[in-house]
Amino acid sequence: MKGKMKELVSSVKRDHLVELALQGKRVDGRALDQYREVSVERGVIGTAQGSALVKLGNTQVMVGVKLEKGEPFPDTPASGILVVNAELLPLASPTFEPGPPNEDAIELARVVDRAIRESQMIDLEKLCIKEGEEVWAVFIDIYVLDHDGNLIDASVLASVAALYDVKPPAVEEWTLPEFPLTKKPAAVTVVKLNGVMMVDARLEEENIAEARLTISTLENGDICAMQKGGSGFFDREELEKAYELALKCGEELRKKL
């Protein structure tokens, strides 16, 4: 099986899941547009400036935010730095292995990075201490603890929750009255399983889906990031449908923050 996020599924189970999908049903009784139980717990790690543990059903993702002083990038001398990293820990799945991040981990980190960065939820300009010399760097570390599907949505939700948990006074020589946050992006991943579109796929659904599309939206309905994945395709009507789902479910996810 290529890609360590996916696992082999028996043909009996595959046929069963496809059969259900065609009737608009799912193996755990959910509707196609329904998330598993969502829980967001903030402030779970004392040594991080901000942290959160998100559960989507059995999927568990922890995010820690660290703030450090650093040098700005030469092309953005007056802007703070955002760094997103994701670890698919070997304890989270029998298919995850120790070692440097593979393409799945890199894609996850970069998709979360764009959802956060492009939403402009962090006012990076306010994180400038001295132009060209010193700025605050925000490190978002995503720790996948238990992989039962839909890591992207769980990771974005945990990252946004952890950012809203940041307590700057705990940092030495903090230079701002507060951590400058403005918006709440929400990522919703829609998978296509035998032509049927559904949100928040659990692992066995994800394993047999043809393709996925993640749409990150803001409170006003604007799109700030998208990413298609998987070996299948979407047509234009399916994009529209995915966008509707992203709006509806994004609003529900935001309420959990």
Partner 1 sequence: MMETGKPEKLIVDGRRLDGRRPDELRPLRLKAGILKRADGSAYIELGKNKILAAVYGPKEMHPRHLQQSDVAVLRCRYNMAPFSVEERKRPGPDRRSMEISKVIREALEPVLFLYLYPRAVIDVFIEILQADAGTRTAGITAASVALADAGIPMRDLVTGISAGKVDGTVVLDLMKEEDQWGEADMPIAVMPRKKRITLLQMDGNFTREEFRQALDLAFKGVDLIYEAQKEALREKYLPSLEEEK
Contact region with partner 1 (CB under 8 A), list: 25-33, 38-46, 102-110, 152-160: 102-110
d(CA 114, CA 248): 21
What DSSP letter does each residue of 186-209 carry, written as one string? EEEEEEEETTEEEES--HHHHHH-
Q: Which of 27, 31, 106, 170 binds partner 1 (CB under 8 A)?
A: 106
d(CA 43, CA 24): 38
What DSSP letter does each residue of 23-47 carry, written as one string? TT--TTS--TT----EEEEE---TT
Under rule CB under 8 A, residue 171 binds partner 1 = no
Q: Which one, 41 or 123, has the nearer CB to partner 1?
A: 123
What DSSP letter does each residue of 135-155 carry, written as one string? EEEEEEEEEEEE-SS-HHHHH
Binding map of partner 1 across residues 220-239, x = CB under 8 A, - = no contact:
-xxxxxxxxxxxxxxxx--x
Q: Which one, 83 or 257, has the nearer CB to partner 1?
A: 83
Q: Which one, 123 or 252, has the nearer CB to partner 1?
A: 123
CB of 78 to partner 1, least distance (A): 4
Using DSSP, state whether 49 is helix, strand or coil. coil
Under rule CB under 8 A, residue 250 binds partner 1 = no
Contact region with partner 1 (CB under 8 A), list: 56-64, 145-153, 193-201, 218-226: 218-226
Q: Which one, 117 or 254, has the nearer CB to partner 1?
A: 117
